[in-house]
Amino acid sequence: MSLRYARQRSPTLISSDFGTFEGYNVPDNSLPFTLANITTDYGEDDATIIFQHSNGAKAILLLHPERTVRFFIDNGKRLSTSKKFRDAFPVELIVVPTLSPLEAEEIIVRAETVQRNRGTRLAARNFRNIWLAEDQETFDLFKIRVERAWPGIKLQRPEWDTTSPPTVKMFFEEKRITREIQWAGFGFQVWLQIHTHMIRGGPDSILVIDEPDIYLHPDLQHRLYHDIKEQFSQYFVATHATEIINEADTHEIVVINPSNATGRRIRNDADYDLMLNYIGSAENADFAKISKVKKVIFVEGNDARILRRIAKANGLEYLAIEQKSPIFKLGGFSQWRRAEHTVWAFKELLEISIQTKCMFDRDYRCGDETSAFIKRMSEAGVECFVLSRKEIENYLLEPRAIAKATNTQLNRKPGKVGAIQAEEVEQIISKIAAGHRNYVSAQIASNAARFARENRSAKDDTVVITEALDAFETDWASIEGKIALCPGKEVLSKVLVELKTQFGASVSLAAICGELRAGILADDLLETLSELNEFVSR
């Protein structure tokens, strides 16, 4: 609202603790909220909001219930005109206001009223008017985005009703029955409103939306996250919904706790688990999903998020959707009995027979140990897959996928064109993996010796270790071998840092997963995921 206010007026000098700048005293009637509770415990200090643009400029808002809101930009230059002010901080904010039920009767209003209310909490009162005034091309795009989340629904353009006073109606068709949108449930009304606000923005806009999940079914929460990610390069979504959080990439999540002065960004799996404990664990929801589909997949760590993203990229729709494929977290080979115990608990305590499949990291185990483990699991009635690479992140170390994801990110920056080649990524991976060579060889040798002793092998430890190291040298000689054997999480993390340092590209795991399609994704993982997708689809 402050940016909108600044579009039509020239700035004046504003004094603050930050210094004196050209800016604006924004009147209360231009704000979409009350300032009564804006400061912590009604303190004397201003509530301060600072936004920093990639061009270095800072937009600063100072808010207090007893003072006029002050808004200014600090970029080290004089901003004496409205145009200079806007150019110093070139962003478009799309703020989704508080949503409410649509009006039962909506009177035709003037175009200026529609425009004034479109981005405010009053938009619900003028919802049909908004779409009555829109062009056909924009409505067609809106219609596509609504209908793809609501199979069987056909949305119609608003139309005049020549009653007195004149009103506007908007209908949708479901199962060949036509209804006015006010007759729909609040979830559908909310979906219509959210996408009405979202359609105002584009890739260069910033979306701000608060608790969008309150009235949405979990499937729609998933859909909304991906709709937002598809349309906006940057977005702020305030939510407690694990359905949305589980879809987000770890680096996108910031935990806001009222007891802390600043938000905390999620850095690793431990932080992610703490966050889930803070907002409420999803375990009960997972049990409910298992009870419904009567199947469960066990994986190590937080592999589920990566698996689902790769599954989506390859059209494996059942595995990609959480509601259709419950996935539980195991702690590794040593925790395999948890899968067996889960099956027993559902059968004996809940009288529900469920089917399971497990997927484990290979780590540094030799082929004989992996085969013996799969056989032992099968004898216990638990079917499992063991990855042929060290861990799931090793499958993300695909030079072509990383290069494509990097170039997509670079192409979003003004004046930049993505130019990194897969060969360059391969060199980065090879260089970083080389630093782990001794560690990997030692792990492979020690695990081979341990397995031989546990199985009372007739071979001397020296022979076992020598054979293991010879096999390692053969595999490590190729880039494919390095990618398969290196510590995937650590190497991938360092690769992403290197891409940021060398090319200025912040590449996410989600972006890489989106490029891991058939032809780039390793055949063995694609085959495994296809089998898991078939398993949950039956």
Q: What is the pLDDT of residues 375-428, one digit of tens each?
A: 888 887 778 889 999 999 999 999 999 999 999 888 877 666 668 999 999 999
User: Cβ contacts of residue 397 below 8 Å, gap of 6+?
Assistant: 429, 483, 486, 488, 491, 492, 495
Maximum pairwise Cα distance, the chain: 97
What pTM does this model have?
A: 0.56
Q: Are residues 115 and 158 in the same domain?
A: yes
Number of neighbours of residue 171 by Cβ within 10 angstroms:
15
Share of the chain above pLDDT 90, in %: 39
Q: Are residues 376 and 404 in the same domain?
A: no
Residue 443 pLDDT level (bands cut at 50, 70, 90): very high
φ, ψ for residue 530, nearest 5 deg: -65, -40
CB 19 within 8 A of CB 89: no
The CATH number given to whatever domain includes residue 352 is 3.50.50
Question: Region 137-164: what's the mean pLDDT?
Answer: 92
CB 132 within 8 A of CB 158: yes
The answer to whether residue 275 sits within a structural domain is no
Q: How far apart are the first and last CA of the chain?
A: 51
Give me the sheet containing 171-174, strands edge to edge.
153-155, 171-174, 177-180
- State which of 363, 388, 413 marks the end of a domain: 388
Q: Are residues 363 and 407 in the same domain?
A: no
Q: Are residues 69 and 117 in the same domain?
A: no
Look at the chain and report how many structural domains it folds into. Answer: 4
Q: Does the pLDDT at position 369 exceed 70?
A: yes
Q: pLDDT tens across 59-101, in order?
A: 999 998 888 899 999 988 888 888 888 888 888 888 898 888 8
Residue 280 pLDDT level (bands cut at 50, 70, 90): very low
- State which of 207, 239, 271 marks the end of a domain: 239
User: Residue 513 is encoded by which pair of tokens?
Assistant: 């997963």
Q: pLDDT tens across 25-43, in order?
A: 988 877 767 777 787 666 7
Q: Are residues 402 and 502 in the same domain?
A: yes
Q: pLDDT tens across 334-368, in order?
A: 566 666 666 666 666 556 677 888 888 999 988 88
Got the DSSP string for 373-430?
HHHHHHHTT-EEEE-SSSSGGGGG--HHHHHHHHHHHHHTSTT------HHHHHHHHH
**13-17, 378-382, 437-441: the lowest-pLDDT one:** 378-382
Partners of residue 61 on adjacent β-strands: 49, 71
The answer to whether residue 537 sits within a structural domain is no
Q: Are residues 479 and 429 in the same domain?
A: yes
**155-164, 183-192, 257-266: the lowest-pLDDT one:** 257-266
Q: Are residues 415 and 495 in the same domain?
A: yes
Total residue count of the chain as it appears in this document: 538
The answer to whether residue 167 sits within a structural domain is yes
Pairing of strands 355-360, 295-300: parallel
DSSP reduced 3-state for 45: coil
The answer to whether residue 178 sits within a structural domain is yes
Residue 46 pLDDT level (bands cut at 50, 70, 90): confident
Q: What is the dihedral of CA 320, 325, 329, 330, to 10 degrees?
A: -120
> How much is the pLDDT for 240?
80
Q: 202 to each of 93, 181, 391, how far by Cα in Å?
A: 10, 26, 37
Q: Are residues 411 and 384 in the same domain?
A: no
Interatomic CA distance for residues 94 and 346, integer angstroms: 46
Q: Are residues 384 and 400 in the same domain?
A: no
518: left (phi over 0), alpha (psi -120 to 50) or beta: beta
User: Cβ contacts of residue 347 below 8 Å, gap of 6+?
Assistant: 353, 354
Pairing of strands 205-210, 234-238: parallel
List the one residue out of 213, 275, 267 whose CA is nearest residue 243: 213
Residue 215 pLDDT level (bands cut at 50, 70, 90): confident
The answer to whether residue 432 sits within a structural domain is yes
The answer to whether residue 103 sits within a structural domain is no
The answer to whether residue 258 sits within a structural domain is no
Residue 199 is part of which domain span? Answer: 111-239
Q: Are residues 207 and 144 in the same domain?
A: yes
CB 351 within 8 A of CB 292: no
Distant-in-sequence contacts of 119-126, Cβ < 8 A, 24+ apart: 119/4, 119/94, 119/95, 119/197, 119/200, 120/32, 121/32, 121/97, 123/97, 123/193, 123/196, 123/197, 124/99, 124/100, 124/193
> How much is the pLDDT for 116?
86
CB 243 within 8 A of CB 286: no
CA atoms within 13 A on the CB side of 23: 25
The CATH number given to whatever domain includes residue 231 is 3.40.50.300
Q: Are residues 412 and 305 in the same domain?
A: no
The answer to whether residue 277 sits within a structural domain is no
Q: Are residues 197 and 290 in the same domain?
A: no
262 burial type by CB count under 10 A (0-12 exposed, 13-18 middle, 19+ buried): exposed
